[in-house]
Structure 1
Amino acid sequence: MSLPAHTLTQAARLSVAPMMDWTDRHCRYFHRLMSRRALLYTEMVTAPALVRGGATHLLDFDAAEHPVAVQLGGSDPAELALATRLCVERGYDEVNLNVGCPSDRVQSGTFGAVLMTQPALVAECVSAMKDAAQGVEITVKCRIGVDDQEAEEVLPDFLSQVGAAGVGRFTIHARKAWLKGLSPKENRDIPPLDYPLVHRMKSFFPSLHLSINGGIATLDAAEDQLEIMDGVMIGRAAYHQPADILLKADQRLFGEPGAKTAHQVAEEMIPYLERHLAAGGKLHNVTRHMLGLFAGRPGARAWRRVLSEGATRPGAGVALLREALSHVPETPRQEAS
């Protein structure tokens, strides 16, 4: 059963961005051990893959991941409605429409950031998704514009049209997407950030719940953004330095007491790893997401080396994780402070 909307709104104060090849179910389980409160997102799943391809295994997740949202890619309202129904049936708390991904594959399918040029179509899509959602919230993640669009004009028009179709919560990546001339990787860094523009959207649309995304790499920066915005979405920093972001997030952003240490999180992953291995999975499927757990701490290099060199070997098991952990001195006061 999905969570109430007000609970999701609270969770959206901090969310971990949907990231292709990274935020799979193993990554999300790992992140959930560090923060009980943050909202987690799946990798983008395309509506055609679910509806035409029958790839519903892409929707698998562990109940421990709640609150968890699924991100869909697509531009056909009827197909997105069918995909939304599949997501709702599996118990996701939120269904998010991707209007921000700049990859060539996404452009060729007419979804992702290219949809910033078609707000009326996006409105039609989210309306169909809401009709199929059985009360589960439909949200949108977008850019401030694409290519030569005037973001100052395009973004408020987009929020107005899509908001009128029933979307009350948006995450805005504070960069344009350049669909002509930049790779997806370059689109994450080269287009300049325009935080002031996104901040103005909050004053223009006070009734909308608006989260800001892009270039936010510390909890200090997140707290600064939360002085203006309703929520903050963090991507690469949450993946590469998860302890720095997620271990302290519940205390600092949600006012909850107590925090685990990175060592405790590593130990708590062992039962999950044992279940995964018993089901025929590979150690590397899970531990590849854990390489940054001790980033910036003594022993981090040895931790990464042991896991990255050993986890893909035949027969690799939890003993390898324990070996890697032995290289990292435990400093609970430093980690939990």
Structure 2
Amino acid sequence: MAVHYSAVASDIMEQCFIPIFLASKAEREWDFSNKEREILGDVLPIMEELRDLFLPYEEKIKAYHLMGYGLTLLQCAYLTLVDEGNAPQTMEDVHEGCLGFSAETIQELLRDLVNTEIEHMNQEADFWERLEQSSMKAESKWYMSLFYRNPLASMKELVDLSRKLVELYQPYLEKGRAERQAYAEHFSLEEFLTSSNYFSQYSTGVFPENDYHLYLVSPWLLRFASYNNTDGTGYFIVSCRVDQLLESHHELDVDTFTTTIKVISDATRYNVLVELTKPHAKSKDIAESLDITGAAVSFHTQKLINAQLLVINRKDKDIKYNVNKALLREVIAKLQNDFALEEND
């Protein structure tokens, strides 16, 4: 596999991620175990600082700095500029490129943004059909629709907003630079995908003949995300230390055991786990059967993936996920051993 890495491109990708810093503690996708808190000891306070920093802009960020499943509208715009042969070298290049887009191009970006969910949609479906199928919150759908109806004016609002936010973020971009540079020197995407304990359980869907672009970002972004274009080009967004976080679950010690129990102790999340491993499972249908929103299904799904209870199935097109049977067997075995459950009373 050919992996292309650029520190400049990674910096741009990071500065397009500002909406994620406004997630509240309750909304965050990651339930931190004690081991993870040790790994991120200096990072957690920075996450709170960033939330406080951008909180005054929350309403405008919701309205214009739109985000799909793992990617933001600005990141989609950046990737489009790169595909057109106009690779930006700075965030201002991205901003200027966005202002040069036609209304039709912006609307196509929004159509693609809706399609960044784990459940990819019909390639022929238009924006409105995809938005209807999406598991986004109703509020997010509303802002998406407003942006789509007024693409040029909305893009100008986004660029004006992004310029302010990027300026505020510069001290944090610099704070993480040394770690990003050091991480880039030793991190191997290919080795991590083929040799790590985390990925040894299932197919990653990575093909040796394809090109992949790697973006390394600061640890407070907590990302390990992948996205594939229809032409086969893949993109991986990886935050520093994420390999340590994922590998920390390999051995079932007390910390991993209690975290696993905690994640599946939520009744709704457990039911989502059961439904997601069935053939032809769709978020919309699961939401209706459990009487929850599509956004709630996506939230619980990500929690289960982060806890490694759920892994993406890339072999069977009818089943999107597999339950991590090895982990569940270890949990059951520990319960049996700790309480001598196999002994006859």
TM-score, structure 2 as length reference: 0.29
Q: Which has the higher contact order (CA 8 A, sep 6+)?
A: 2
**Greater fraction of residues in strand:** 1
TM-score, structure 1 as length reference: 0.29
**Greater fraction of residues in helix:** 2
